[in-house]
Amino acid sequence: MDRMLVVVFDNETKAYQGKQALQQLDAEGSISVYGYAVIAKNSDGRATVKQQGDDVGPISTLLGTSFGSLIGLLAGPAGMALGAAAGMAAGSSVDLDNLRIGSDFVDDVQKALSPKKVALVAEIEEDWITPVDTRMEAAGGTVYRRAISEVQDKVNEEDVAAMKADLAQLKAEHAKAQADRKAKLQAKINELDSKIEGQLQKAKDRRNEAQRKAQERVTVLKEKAAALKAS
């Protein structure tokens, strides 16, 4: 199951020990790591991305937008550069539509990531939680995880359907309106039409991203299988 993993540690040393343990689990075939980052919360409450994964296979160059959004939320402006590498437009705000893990999970992690704490954030695939929990707890980490959901796609479909209904109503009113009212209604129609196109484009982008990630994951698994066969 694809999951977002956040492990909170008391210091950077322990966080890097946790990162190494995560990489070992990946090398052993217990899990698959698709991307990771180490985030430190400074004493003044600001967060800094200390390290991002570049050595976990080809998938690390194509991190999912959900991962980038989570980094952006936890690290703020300091994490936006990493978010951009994960498919977000440079300088843009965090797109909550791409998070797909629930605001309650983010709230729990943000509370745990208090000043002077360090978090290991990773997007992983795991069949059972014991291997990760055992290694992370041994390194002194507190584990938070959440399955990456596809529910947002359904929510977006319902949003688009609602907007299309509003658009139809506006067009009906526009057809019957007096000349002095038509311009205002047309402006609303244009604005709503742009929003609908934006939502449809986001949905298309997410589908394309999912397909690319699936292809990359197949490559990762094949390379692991070949490495095990050769060893």
One digit per residue, pLDDT tens: the chain, 231 residues?
A: 788 899 999 999 999 999 999 999 999 989 998 888 899 998 888 888 887 665 443 333 334 457 777 887 887 654 444 444 443 333 334 455 556 676 778 888 989 999 999 999 998 888 888 899 999 999 999 999 887 765 455 556 766 887 888 788 889 889 988 888 888 889 889 988 888 888 788 778 777 777 777 777 777 777 777 877 787
Q: Using alpha carbons, select from 89, 45, 86, 91 the residue that is nearest to residue 67.
A: 86
Task: Check residue 35 and give its pLDDT.
Answer: 83
CA dist., res. 160 & res. 196, Å (int): 6
Helix or strand holding residue 227 (H, E): helix 179-230
Order of strands, edge to edge, in the sheet holding 47-52? 47-52, 31-41, 118-126, 2-9, 142-147
User: What's residue 152's pLDDT?
Assistant: 56
The residues spanned by each domain of the chain are 2-149, 152-230
Q: List the structure tokens of 101.
A: 């893990």
CA distance 67 to 72: 9
Contact between 100 and 148 under an 8 Å Cβ cutoff? The reply is yes
pLDDT number for residue 223: 79
Place of tokens 């703020």: 76
